[in-house]
Amino acid sequence: MKDESRPLATSLEALNAEIVSCRRCPRLVAWREKVAAERTRRFRDWTYWGKPVPGFGDPDARVWIVGLAPAAHGANRTGRMFTGDRSGDWLYRALHRAGFANQPKSYSRDDGLRLTDCYISALLRCCPPQNKPLKSELQNCRPFLVAEFELLSRMRVIVSLGQLAYQQMLQILSHKGFTIPRPRPAFAHLQEIHFHQNLTLLASYHPSQQNTFTGKLTEAMFDAVWQRVKKLVS
C-alpha cells in the first residue's frame, strides 16, 4: 500500500476501482471468495459480489458515515455498503427519515437508492471471518479511508458507527494533524468531538443485530444521530 497520508487516486471513481481490485489481505480474499462460492441457502440464486466493497453515496457529501466491514451475506453479496442485511435496513430507514436517502430500503446495487449529502464507507472493505478484522487488515485498508477523507472535500461531519470505527477515525484524524482532546473522550452514543476547519466526529452505536435486537440501540436513539447531523451541517 502507498503512504496513508496521500490519496491513492484523484477521484472517488478511480479510488473505488482500486478498492475493488485489492487483494492485499490473503485471509480476507480467501474468506470473501469462499462465502461467495458456497453462498447461503436463502441466497442460493444470487451471484455474489465476492470482492472488496467500494464506498457509496454523494461525492459532494458533507456527511461521511464509516462502519466496520461488509457483511458476509450482505454487502459481500450485493456489492454495496450496508445493502442486503438488517444493519443496512436500519441505516437506510433512518437516513430516509432524515432526508439523506430517497428511499428507506436497499436490496441491490440497482434498486434505485440514491444518497444526498452523505457518503458511506467502512474500516474494512472485505467481510472478515466472525466479523473480526485483524489489526494488520485494518492497517492495510486504512489508506482507502485516508484517500476518501481527502477526496470528500466538503465534509463537515464524520459519523462513526461503533466503537472500533470511532477509535480508528480518531487515529486517522490525529495522523492528519487534527488535535485530539486530552483526555481522549471515550466512545459513547452521540459523543461529539469538534475540530478546527469546521469538522465534527459524531459517534453512534452500530445498527448491528447485537445492538438492535437487545434494545441497546433503538430507532429513536438512531434518529437522534441523524437529527444532530442535520443541525451540524445546517
* DSSP calls for 168-195: HHHHHHHHTTPPPPSSPPPP-TT-EEEE
Is the predicted pLDDT of residue 2 greater than 90, yes or no?
Answer: no
Mean pLDDT of 141-167: 97
* Sequence spans of domains, the chain: 12-233
Which residues on adjacent β-strands are paired with residue 157? 63, 200
Share of the chain above pLDDT 70, in %: 97
CATH T-level assignment (fold) for domain 12-233: Uracil-DNA Glycosylase, subunit E (3.40.470)
Confidence of residue 5 (pLDDT cuts 50, 70, 90): very low
Is the predicted pLDDT of residue 6 greater than 60, yes or no?
Answer: no
d(CA 198, CA 10): 23
* 163, amino acid identity: Q
Q: Is 233 exposed, middle or buried (0-12, 13-18, 19+ CB in 10 A)?
A: middle
Share of the chain above pLDDT 90, in %: 94
- pLDDT tens-digit profile of 126-139? 999 999 999 999 99
* 182, amino acid identity: R
Q: Is 44 exposed, middle or buried (0-12, 13-18, 19+ CB in 10 A)?
A: exposed
Average pLDDT of the residues of the chain: 95
* 10, amino acid identity: T
- pLDDT tens-digit profile of 68-107? 999 999 999 999 999 999 999 999 999 999 999 999 999 9
Q: In terms of DSSP bridges, do strands 63-67 and 118-122 run parallel, antiparallel, or are they unpaired?
A: parallel
The cell for 149 is 477523507
Is the predicted pLDDT of residue 3 greater than 90, yes or no?
Answer: no
Is the predicted pLDDT of residue 57 greater than 60, yes or no?
Answer: yes
Half-sphere exposure of 232 (CA within 13 A, CB side): 25
Confidence of residue 7 (pLDDT cuts 50, 70, 90): very low
- pLDDT tens-digit profile of 24-52? 999 999 999 999 999 999 999 999 999 99
Confidence of residue 8 (pLDDT cuts 50, 70, 90): low
d(CA 70, CA 109): 14
